[in-house]
Amino acid sequence: MREQVNSVLRQLRMQARSVEQEAALGALRYVAHDGERCLLEVKPLLAPLAKEQLLPRIQALLSELVGRPVRVHIRAARSPQQELFPFLPTPEPEEGEGAVGASDPYTFEHFVVGPSNQFAHAAALAVARNPGRHYNPLFLYGAAGLGKTHLLRAIAHAVREQHPTLEVRYLTADTFMAEVVYAIRRDRLQHFKTRFHRIDVLLVDDVQLLAGRERTQEELFHIFNTLHETGKQIALAADRPPNELLQLDERLRNRFGWGLVVDVQPPDLETRIAILQRKSHLEGVDLPYDAAVILAENAGPSVRELHGLLTRLLAFASLSGTEITTALAQKVVASSAKGVDRPVTIERIQEVVASFFGLRVQDLRSPRRSRAIATARQIAMYLCRQDLGASFPYIGQCFGGRDHTTVIHAVTAIERRQAVDPELRKVIQSLRGMARSGEGSEPSPWKTSSA
Amino acid sequence: MECRMTKDDLLGALYLAQGIVDRRVTLPVLAHVLIQVGNRDATILATDQEIGLRRRCGAAVTKRGAATANARVLYEIIRSLSDGEIELRSDERHHLEVKQGKSQFRIVGIEPSEFPAMPAVPDVKSKAQLSVDAEVLRRMLELTLFAASSDEARPALCGVCFERRDGLLHVVASDGHRLSLVSRALKGVRPEPGVILPRKAVTEMMKVLDGLSGEVQLTFGSGVVFLTAGDVELAMRTVQADFPSYEAVIPRETAHLLTIANGPWSQALRRVAVLAAEQTHPVRLTFDAGKVELSARNPELGEAHEEVEANYSGETFTIGFNARYLLDVLSLFPGDSTVEVGLQDDESPTVFRVPEEPEFLYVLMPMRLS
């Protein structure tokens, strides 16, 4: 398998469409295979690009070469230590638990404070210093990519350092839900409760994801009460304040508002520059001030987007062996704005379609069926199928867990309507263009459950 | 209740209870031990709801009954008393009175009925039970536990797996980077396929087995494993996960074979590892005719280099390992033992064996050298 992978990589390298792609293809390395799956590794900086732009073609060519379908997985190489069971699922440090170690980027030290997040930062710091004493619960809210997760994990990190005897647990609402389901299925609910009651500092991220999950909300409600009564610290984060979490049980919403509710605002220009400088310093790169200003002025409101631009700039510089200059920064900004090879993903399509129809991405994924929403949803599904070739069940999953037959129906319906409706054809054409370039939408505040 | 017990008996039981009681105390009663006094003896119980300890001790009984006391407090008190007899008595307010000569303590307890019930060893046929010499079992655990993971996100690897295959009992642990396996023919072997006991349970089991000789029993119930060793009974909840199928990662044949004296190799590794990068401790090993060259480099600290004699006649070959993973296993064998290393290439699992203990086998994944 190693030979075949290498030959596929060589072949693709000759057709690479950008310096980055070429570099990623050169850096990808075969790790293991088990008949149907094949695992490749690449340095963390290049992993997102490899997954988005290269994986499908590698998979197709490899399957062809081997003569049977092979599922290719690409992951970021984190350690030179090789593994005995490479296919055993490893928890991603970005999600869920996260190994908190020397390399943990989510600490208070690495958090850049500005007027937009000063209050949230101070509250989180107070909680970390004296868990359970002030602000219980602490509730952080704000749009995606503004640092809520960073603050929660910084609390976890700081508590572990300053109060090593305390039991700290950071998890996303998703993970919590999975654990509830697991406990129910395995009939281990009592054990599950005991484990959570033991926690001294509980940090739950993305609580808006609990919408509609009654059983999970119920468990969280009980855990919340027990911990709160015994003076244990709870901190939560969501994309909106507690009183707007309408799909959550009222008892839970109430409790979320008992302590301190703080919002995290998008950073101003100065803070964004400071963030870029801090981040590049962490990467061990010297980012000239002027280049930082160019990136900061051109990125969207989210810090994640800011990091994205910076990563692109650093990758560009390191791969082409040039120095980071204002000219290079301008080039990167320009190419991102034009979206030269902005990858089209299901989320991207959902964002563009939602914003075109004046809806929220959430509406597309919701069970709502009003006419406007239903049409937009069908168009988005159609684009996901036509332009991305995603499977019907997968598309269904990305649209709020709909059945694959619903997707098939949507795609056929749009195909049929397009044939007779030139107006619709035009709309779809322009949506396609928007998805490919960077225009037409704000980044979605909703986290997608990547499957 | 009222009885007299010797300090030795009490202390022995409380020492084991120390390791088990829940230090993070969710239910206050879990920080306590339960002392049950019967007609002619006493039983001391402790649990964290994952592991339960039951230890029978001789007692001169005046009045039957039960009492609880904070495990740590009671341990500290008993430890500081003189050798000989100690009087224990409980009152209706659940206080435990401890008396020896002129020393007297009254310890606050909890209603004994609040103490969680412990699973009892099931009445199983001899097939699900396995008799093994205490020292043999202890060694099997010692040779494997160190390789278990402590990453709780991968529960299947956070313990030691017991499994019967080909008429042997296999005890195996792995953290995903290395794997440690002991296989022995034992009488009456029948654990369910792949029963995993968590690290803490195995650690406590080793404490119970420490210094013990003669046969002990392991009984495999559903979701629980019992160790019965003399007066001690340990009930351990198993991990609800499947141990990865490890057969395939154990190389059957290897291209290169090296034999080397454990002592000199370990010492050289320890010295060289001082300059290996932190966290992953990478050490470079080059096998050459009649020797192994060890080296480590750390850009901030410097370099180390050392040669050790070895029996090797294959082609020159370089491979990287985490020095800690090597030292962990080498330190389990005497310095004058010989270690056999089977190597395939610098990306494949490497096998370590010690001819003196042929039941044992260690598989280690190399590190990429940049």
- ipTM passes above 0.85: no
Average pLDDT over residues A140-162: 89
Nearest to B17 by CA among B42, B67, B54, B66: B54
d(CA A90, CA A399): 27
pLDDT value at position A92?
45
d(CA B58, CA B87): 13
Which residues 6+ apart lie within 8 Å of A122 measured at CB? none
Which residues 6+ apart lie within 8 Å of A338 measured at CB? A437, A438
pLDDT value at position A442?
39
Average pLDDT over residues A303-314: 82
Lowest mean pLDDT segment, chosen from A52-56, B190-194, B325-329: B190-194
Q: Does A81 touch chain B (CB under 8 A)?
A: yes
Task: Looking at the complex, report in whole angstroms how far the Cα of residue A270 sits from the nearest Cα belonging to chain B.
Answer: 35
Lowest mean pLDDT segment, chosen from A104-113, A313-322, A375-384, B336-345: A313-322
Tens of pLDDT, residue by residue over B142-172, are 999 999 998 877 889 999 999 888 778 899 9
pLDDT value at position B192?
57
Cβ contacts (< 8 Å) between B179 and chain A: which residues?
84
Tens of pLDDT, residue by residue over A350-386, are 988 888 888 888 889 888 877 778 889 999 999 988 8
pLDDT value at position A110?
83
Tens of pLDDT, residue by residue over B82-128, are 999 999 999 989 999 999 999 999 999 999 998 988 877 776 665 57
**Residues B125/B188, Cβ–Cβ less than 8 Å:** no
Query: Which residue among B154, B240, B280 sits closest to A188, beta carbon to beta carbon?
Result: B240
Residue A30: closest CA among chain B residues belongs to which residue? B347
Tens of pLDDT, residue by residue over B13-72, are 999 999 898 776 667 888 999 999 999 999 999 998 889 999 999 999 999 999 999 999
What domains sit in chain B, N to C, each tagged with a CATH number? 2-114 (3.10.150.10), 126-247 (3.10.150.10), 250-364 (3.10.150.10)
pLDDT value at position B141?
96
Tens of pLDDT, residue by residue over A246-303, are 888 889 999 998 989 999 988 888 888 988 888 888 777 788 888 888 888 887 777 8
Mutate to test the interface with B, among A85, A187, A223 (most CBs of B within 10 A): A85
Cβ contacts (< 8 Å) between B117 and chain A: which residues?
none
Tens of pLDDT, residue by residue over A35-50, are 788 999 988 878 888 8
What domains sit in chain A, N to C, each tagged with a CATH number? 2-76 (3.30.300.180), 118-263 (3.40.50.300), 269-338 (1.10.8.60), 346-436 (1.10.1750.10)
pLDDT value at position B326?
96
pLDDT value at position A98?
38
Nearest to B142 by CA among B306, B329, B324, B5: B329
CB contact under 8 A, B368 and A80: yes
Tens of pLDDT, residue by residue over B298-309, are 888 899 999 999
SS3 A322: coil
Q: Does A164 touch chain B (CB under 8 A)?
A: no
pLDDT over 70 at B229, yes or no: yes
pLDDT value at position A450?
35
SS3 A260: strand
SS3 B301: coil
pLDDT value at position A294?
87
| B293: number of Cβ within 10 Å | 18
CB contact under 8 A, B349 and A91: no
pLDDT value at position A99?
38
pLDDT over 70 at B346, yes or no: yes
| Average pLDDT of the residues of chain B | 91
Q: Which helix (H) or strand (E) holds A385?
A: helix A371-388
Nearest to B273 by CA among B333, B319, B216, B323: B323
d(CA B54, CA B49): 13
pLDDT over 70 at A188, yes or no: yes
* Bridge pairing between strands B215-220 and B224-229: antiparallel
Lowest mean pLDDT segment, chosen from A196-200, A315-319, A340-344, B218-222: A340-344
Q: Does B320 touch chain A (CB under 8 A)?
A: yes
